Copies of this chain bind each other. A is one copy, B any other.
């Protein structure tokens, strides 16, 4: 392979073969294709695009750069979910034990939070003793015994992605749908699951706020996963306001536990259940969506969903008593009311802005090396369409960094648009894509 010829082929709009992409990634790992050459290739791919087969080949090659789990010794279908993330997005905490209670094996590798969105690993870290840094051996043993594991990507997973992501971050090549797809999927495919459900968010707090872009990303994820031989479905869900009321680490764990018992908060439940239905249908364990709903409802009614959460926490070294006594979660030493600045309906929330305010509070990270405050968070009692009165308490922020409270509270209220006309929020479940067609959800 002559490296610059592959770069020039993409630069001129050509389509690389799978063999060429394999060579390119192999040479990148040995150093024969330098970081500078990769940076030029990534910019060419950013501007010229990658076809589905190129994206699939790139994904496979990136996955093959590291360890790939073989789950064949574990009985049962293996399905995972990936979310593009948002503020208050604790769906994974509800979904993983719930779907596992239905018999689906869930090998879920997640990331830590960075920027305005939280990360599942940070939320799990709020559970005393819970470890997400599992070796492959321990993770496979937990999966076999418990049917669910929630962990950080092991260091051996997709090393090519780690280097390429750092490079993209430095060279202005992050916001490319094929490159985002390859980065997400290269890690997900290493889990060795049979199928994947993609929760692609749209709205003011989403990575892709605009619906057309979110749909493009959803199509790219599903088409590429299917081209790589996996079952896949994507669902477009709302992120025009924080999901549920809680946005933080400990406070989101508490809300997720509630939801597995009480089906509240409603928006969290109504986003999570359809995703669970998709996973259950993909798994082949049920024959219809109706049967999937029945099975899911039953595991809440009979407590097996919450039992599975206890088992998961225990298996990963955490204190399972938090499930019945959430006061064992980290408690914030300080609290501060959030007050409505005027009267009217909450018409709109700049959710990204409120997410960045929470980063200031210590909920998330600006840089990967930042520490987070597990007790910090926001409880926003009002949602879009709710009426508020000037001076009324509409929520609270909490945590250790009380010096940030006035500014953070101001930013939270500034992220709300309050007006005289009542508006409705985005549809929680907008549509789904199965690789052949889009269908609107009702």
Contact = CB atoms under 8 A, between A and B. Distances in A.
Interface string A163-181: 0000101111100000000
Interface string A4-22: 1101100100000000000
A39 interface: yes
Interface in A165-210: 167, 169-173
Contacts of A11: 43, 46-47, 172-173
A387 to B, nearest CB: 41
Contacts of A37: 39, 170-171
A309 interface: no
Nearest to A48: B47
Q: How many copies does the complex hold?
A: 2
A325 to B, nearest CB: 46
Interface in A50-84: none
Majority DSSP secondary structure for residues of A touching B:
helix
A3 interface: yes
Contacts of A5: 172
Contacts of A171: 4, 7, 36-37, 39-41
Interface string A296-327: 00000000000000000000000000000000
Interface of A: 3-5, 7-8, 11, 34-44, 46-48, 167, 169-173
27 contacts: A3-B170, A4-B169, A4-B170, A4-B171, A7-B172, A8-B172, A11-B43, A11-B46, A11-B47, A35-B36, A36-B39, A36-B167, A36-B171, A37-B39, A37-B170, A37-B171, A39-B39, A39-B40, A39-B43, A40-B40, A40-B42, A40-B43, A41-B171, A43-B44, A43-B47, A44-B47, A47-B48
